[in-house]
Structure 1
C-alpha cells in the first residue's frame, strides 16, 4: 500500500477573496466569480494533474505519471475527490477522499476475501490548486490574477477558446491571503521567492488549465540528495474539464472495506 506522506508532499498534485474586492473584484465572466458559481452540491469537475520534480543538478527534471479523476463540490468548497494516482505501481492506486478519511484501492494489494478497499483517517487535500495557488479561494485567485504580466489568446481546451494569463507571485504576497503558509517551511529570508504561473481561461471565465513552477528550500531532510544545492524544484500542470458535471462522490460499500489497523502484514 502507498504511504501517503510522500505522495501528498509531491502532489499537487498540483490555486488560487471573500471580502477584499479592491484589487480583484469578482465580475461576470471573471474567473473568481465563475469558479465560485460552480461550487454547489451535486456537481464537480474532472481533472488531470501532471507533476514534475527536480531534486538535484545531476538528476534534472523528472515528470511523474499523471493523477486523474473527479473533484466534488458543495457549499462553496471542495467536499470530496476520487482520483487515480498512476505513478504508483503498474495500474495506479485509486483514492476516494471525503472529509478526513481516505478509502484506497490498490489492485496489487492482497486483502482478505471480499475486501477491495483499505480505509484510514487522513487530512484530505480538498482543494483546487496548482502548487500553492488555489482556484477555489477567491482571495488567493484574485491576488494571483493581480500579478498578471501577459494576456493573450491561445489554445482551445475542453471545447472552449482560451485566454492565457501569466505572471509571477511571491510567497510574501501569498502570505497576505494564505497566512498559514507563514507558519510553514518558508521563512522570512525566502519570502521573496516566486511562483511563476499560467492560467488558460475559457470564454465562460472557467480555468481549463493551470500551471505553476516554483522552488522550495531543501532543508536538513534532503541533505545529500540535492548535491549541495539548497533548493528543490516543482512544476504542477493541471487540466480541468467538464465543469459543472453532475457528481456525487460516495464512500465504497462497507462490505468491501477494511480498516488499515486491522491489516496484518
Structure 2
C-alpha cells in the first residue's frame, strides 16, 4: 500500500513492526517513531439538553504522524465543516487549510495561518500517547472480554470509568475552566478495543461537563452538556511524512480579502 498525497505529501506503507503482546502503554510508545504514523476515523456526538438529545456529527478522517516519541503532525478531513468537508494539515503551530468549495485568489488552494495544533492521540480527554494517562485509565478497568475484529485484528474490549479527580492527577492541565472541584467525582466512561499486539484499534469515551453561567438556560434545565467520542485506529506503523502543501498553492490568511 502506498499513499501519496502531497499535502500533498503523505507517504504510506506498513513499516514499524507490530509490538509484541503485552502492555498497551508500551505498545503505543513503540509506535511513536519519526517517519511513521496511524490512520484514524473519529466520530463525535453532542448532547445539549433533553429537547435536542444526542446529535452525531459527520466524521473526521485522516492520518496522524509521529516523531521522537510524540505526535508530530496531522492531516485530517473534517467532514462536518463546509459543504464538502475541510482538510487541515497541522504541523507545530501552523495550519494549512483546504476547502474545496471556497474561492481563492490566483489559483491558490490552501490558506495558512498560525495556530497551535492539537497534536495527540486521544478519545475525549483520555490521551493514548501519554503513558501516565493511559496507565491511569487502564487502572480503572472493570470489565474485559473478547470482542470484534478491527483493522484485521481480533480485539479484547477493556472498559471502565475514570473520575476527573483521577484524571487531574495525570493531566493537571485539565483543571479549571467549567470543571471545578465540585465536579471532581464526575466520571468519564471509556472503552478500549485492544489487539493481541497491545495496540488500540478503537477508543470510545462519554462524559458530561457543567454548562456554567455562560450557557445557563441553554440546556433546557439539564445543567450540563454531554459528549461522546469514538475513534478507530488502523495501519499502525505506516510510513508517513506529513509536509506543508506547495508554496505556489498557498496564501496567507492575512492576505485574503475579508
Trace 1:1-265 onto structure 2 (pairs within 5 A): 29-265=22-258
Mind listing any 5+ residue stretches in structure 2 that lack a counterpart? 1-19
Compare 177-186 and 234-243 and name the one that shifted more.
177-186
Offset of 1:184 from its aligned partner? Answer: 3.4
Give the paired residue count.
Answer: 239
Offset of 1:182 from its aligned partner? Answer: 1.5
Offset of 1:28 from its aligned partner? Answer: 5.5
Asked if structure 1 preserves the Cα contact closer than 8 Å seen for 2:87 and 2:99, the reply is yes
- The two structures have a TM-score, normalised by structure 1, of 0.88
Per-residue CA shift, 1:138-180, capped at 9, x if unaligned?
A: 0000000000000000000000100000000000000110011
Asked if structure 1 preserves the Cα contact closer than 8 Å seen for 2:59 and 2:78, the reply is yes
Per-residue CA shift, 1:36-64, capped at 9, x if unaligned?
A: 00000000000000000000110000000
Distance in structure 2 (CA, Å) of the matches to 1:108 and 1:120: 19
Distance in structure 1 (CA, Å) of the matches to 2:36 and 2:164: 32
The 3-state SS of whatever aligns with 2:135 is helix
Runs of 4+ in structure 1 over 6 Å off: none
- The two structures have a TM-score, normalised by structure 2, of 0.91
Offset of 1:236 from its aligned partner? Answer: 0.1
Distance in structure 2 (CA, Å) of the matches to 1:256 and 1:89: 20
Offset of 1:123 from its aligned partner? Answer: 1.2
Offset of 1:255 from its aligned partner? Answer: 1.1
Q: CA RMSD in A?
A: 1.0
Distance in structure 2 (CA, Å) of the matches to 1:152 and 1:94: 37
